[in-house]
């Protein structure tokens, strides 16, 4: 919904405002393209990244927990190391399973959590951007009519205003929801917990430094990854 509203705001509403200034138009469209590409790419990486326990043997997290006791999963009858939980929807064990995202139809775990974080980040930016730009367009184009109450139910402009208001509200609510997911994920990452562990009160993995927890998810070059998104597994 946020992506659709953003596209409407940027490719339908925006040209009516910035087409008179070529430089401004290029800058706006570059920003839109940047937000759109990053949102879609991160969403694709969340969905297509393999999060199953079959990948454990090649990761630092597995080596870090290699000395811990391993058991077999009662559902898939496979080795189940520490912090590995079975998802009944995906029907597989996921290392550091955080939750199952129904919006992206994928489990969020150790291998794709960083992509999910950046997906929510760019979703929040896109939603708030679309809401702000659509609101600006409504105020600049129809503010006088709204103040004078010149719009009636037979006026075609009223239907357009209602549509634009719905786009702005949808983008705003979507952006706020994405922000809440983003801050919640960042809080859990800094604590070294997953959402599942937080609900169960498991705190045995929260004793390390916050930077170590961040590196576990984003890799050693996590600061560069935040500034310029890099789409490869740098763990």
CA dist 168 and 173 (Å) reads 9
DSSP string, 104-121: TTEEE-TTTHHHHHHHHH
Strand ranges, E, within 71-205: 71-72, 79-80, 84-87, 92-95, 99-101, 106-108
Active-site residue list: 101
CA dihedral 81, 87, 90, 96 (to 10 degrees): -50
CA dist 51 and 95 (Å) reads 7
The phi, psi pair for 142, rounded to 5°, reads -125, 10
The phi, psi pair for 60, rounded to 5°, reads -60, -35
CA dist 74 and 210 (Å) reads 33
- The answer to whether the Cα torsion of 18, 20, 24, 27 is positive or negative is positive
88 Cβ contact partners less than 8 Å away, ≥ 6 residues apart = 75
């Amino acid at each position: 919904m946020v992506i659709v509203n953003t596209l409407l705001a940027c490719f339908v509403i925006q040209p009516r405002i910035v087409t008179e200034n070529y430089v401004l138009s290029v800058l706006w469209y570059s920003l839109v393209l940047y937000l759109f590409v990053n949102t879609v790419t991160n969403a694709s990486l969340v969905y297509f990244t393999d999060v199953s326990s079959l990948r454990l043997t090649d990761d630092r997290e597995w080596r870090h927990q290699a000395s811990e006791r391993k058991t077999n999963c009662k559902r898939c009858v496979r080795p189940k190391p520490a912090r590995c939980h079975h998802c009944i929807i995906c029907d597989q064990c996921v290392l550091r399973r955080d939750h199952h995202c129904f919006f992206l139809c994928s489990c969020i775990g150790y291998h794709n959590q960083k992509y999910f974080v950046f997906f929510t980040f760019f979703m929040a930016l896109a939603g708030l951007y679309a809401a702000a730009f659509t609101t600006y367009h409504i105020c600049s184009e129809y503010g006088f009519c709204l103040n004078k109450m010149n719009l009636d139910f037979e006026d075609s402009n009223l239907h357009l205003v209602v549509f634009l208001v719905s786009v702005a509200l949808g983008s705003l609510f979507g952006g706020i929801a994405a922000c809440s997911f983003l801050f919640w994920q960042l809080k859990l990452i800094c604590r070294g917990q997953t959402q599942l562990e937080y609900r169960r009160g498991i705190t045995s993995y929260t004793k390390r430094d916050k930077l170590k927890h961040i590196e576990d998810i984003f890799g050693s070059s996590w600061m560069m990854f935040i500034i310029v998104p890099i789409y490869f597994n740098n763990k």
